[in-house]
Structure 1
């Protein structure tokens, strides 16, 4: 547990000893049973909210209790090998003169804001809700880089789906499409509801969010709307890429089947000639039979091939 306390124009940094009446504090801790029990005794947070902190993978939510607000948002980050996206929960309590953030996984954006608050007394002087705005703004901005990278990947996939002319790399492209759709689904599921959380904090008249701070949360709402629109655009592009991929596959399959059918058609008369004259060669004079059969075998496929080429079937 680490604590920042603003009092008399100065910021003190320490632990639980700084949590006392007067001043404004920011408490950042992990969801350990000891820390959650201490928070319950000190701030009288609702047991259901503390239970949500103890259990990971909660849905995004905004809960208003008698003396506090409870928010759950998610920070989406790529795994170490960039093979998938991981969702890390960030819980926050906002009470009179106090901000409490709870997270099991280190959060680089929160750490940066925490350090800024420790060195700049003006941030906490504007109230704990302003520090919470700084955290949410940093987390939301961090998602832009992630979504932009996925958008670039989707555009490359769409170009590849349209330009391919052979079966080479088809399985790899299909895998890329499915991976991108899974990532966009996770982003849509986790990030889109966060807009409602920020919108709730931006409403005028909140008892724990001053109006001068609420306007900043509206800026975060605007950023989240842009993120959601970009995610939806990426999903639409992926759906188009999937349709184009299936269309290309069907077209190539149809072309291959047409060529195989024409080849079969070319050789079908040869089977007839071989079968017929194999049993009935004696109906022709000996000096004529062999030349007739050889001429039929040579001329028929050449004539059919030339006819199909003339008709542009081959």
Structure 2
């Protein structure tokens, strides 16, 4: 057996993700295809200031005529489920075997590699689920050259590039006037900005959990807090190396990245730092919710024990009175042997005394403030 791969669903519902790894001694550059991966679909967008072409490509070889033109060519491959197509794609674009390995064998840690005439950038893209907390996560690989940009997405269902496609199609902004390095920046910026809608959902979810923890914490609340913490950890693992890779690209530079685009990359880096700060803040809030939950449960238990203690304290003297008059000493033997047993109003008087004792104790507890609920926290 030459490999070990565990298929991981794109929806982040698991707490842990088992990464791909090679068996020791595997030949460098070897690619492995997940049997559950989607078959690749190839899309081409070729443009300049005046012309625009957008179409689906049937074979990798059809991309070759667009690679040496003066226009900008964006080849977007969606899916990693066909080894033959991916290898042919590597030959058409003259990809180094290690580049193709990094692109296909997912997940890879976000990073940047300079291959002189090509620049490899591996990023992780997240897309929020519809109206629910959670997100789809996939790897996106950028292979940047002078006249073309090749992007390889892990799966075709979700991406955050539609805004960039619309800008190219409608010739909005300066994107049609720029080269491939600006296109790569625009796509990378869309990936970084895609973290903000996801974090907005988690901010709302944390607010709901705060109210739930304060008002009515349950075991399900604890499970929800734990799930949010683990998913925020997944986001942190995605954005942390991505931020470092962008910083490395700005600091070290590349012949394929112009000075003007490097200025734009600084703004992209600032967004990545902002995302990182938000992730860390939400993780601290989630950790604090865990402490608040434990305190709330402890206070709730204290209130239960207080009620039981008050009830027990009231019934202790009543039990004492009832126990005395339950001994039934014979009054004929001695006038001191519970003469109250022969009274006409003895039983009602005894009940009245017991009721008076109970109300007196309740009044005493109320005066001391022991009957108030001290564990309830009112949300703002």
**For 2:160, what is the secondary structure of its paired residue?**
helix
Q: Measure, in 2, the Cα distance between the counterparts of 1:241 and 1:4.
A: 47
TM-score, structure 2 normalization = 0.70
Matches within 5 A, 1:76-225: 76-80=126-130, 82=132, 84-103=134-153, 104-117=155-168, 120=171, 123=175, 126-162=178-214, 164=215, 167=216, 170-171=218-219, 173-203=221-251, 205-225=253-273
Is there any run of 5+ residues in structure 1 with no aligned partner, and where?
none
How many equivalent residue pairs?
Answer: 310
Q: Measure, in 2, the Cα distance between the counterparts of 1:115 and 1:33.
A: 31
Is there any run of 5+ residues in structure 2 with no aligned partner, and where?
1-41, 56-61, 331-336, 372-380
Which residue of 122, 135, 139 maps to 1:72?
A: 122
Residues 21 and 312 of structure 1: CA distance in aligned 2, closer, same or farther (over 3 Å):
closer
Aligned counterpart, 2:44: 3
Matches within 5 A, 1:290-301: 290=346, 294=351, 297-301=354-358
How large is the RMSD of aligned CA atoms in angstroms? 3.1
Residues 119 and 16 of structure 1: CA distance in aligned 2, closer, same or farther (over 3 Å):
farther
| Cα drift, residue 48 of structure 1 | 2.6
Is residue 323 of structure 2 the alignment partner of residue 275 of structure 1? yes
- Contact preservation (8 Å) 1:202, 1:216: no
Greater share of residues in helix: 1
- Of the structure 1 ranges 68-77 and 289-298, higher mean CA displacement relative to structure 2 is found in 289-298
Q: Measure, in 1, the Cα distance between the counterparts of 2:270 and 2:96.
A: 30
Aligned counterpart, 1:310: 367
TM-score, structure 1 normalization = 0.83
Residues 275 and 137 of structure 1: CA distance in aligned 2, closer, same or farther (over 3 Å):
same
Q: Measure, in 2, the Cα distance between the counterparts of 1:161 and 1:17.
A: 59
Q: Measure, in 1, the Cα distance between the counterparts of 2:245 and 2:293.
A: 38
Q: Measure, in 1, the Cα distance between the counterparts of 2:295 and 2:160.
A: 44
| Cα drift, residue 231 of structure 1 | 1.8
Deviations 1:228-249 (CA, angstroms, capped at 9, x unpaired):
1122222222223332233223
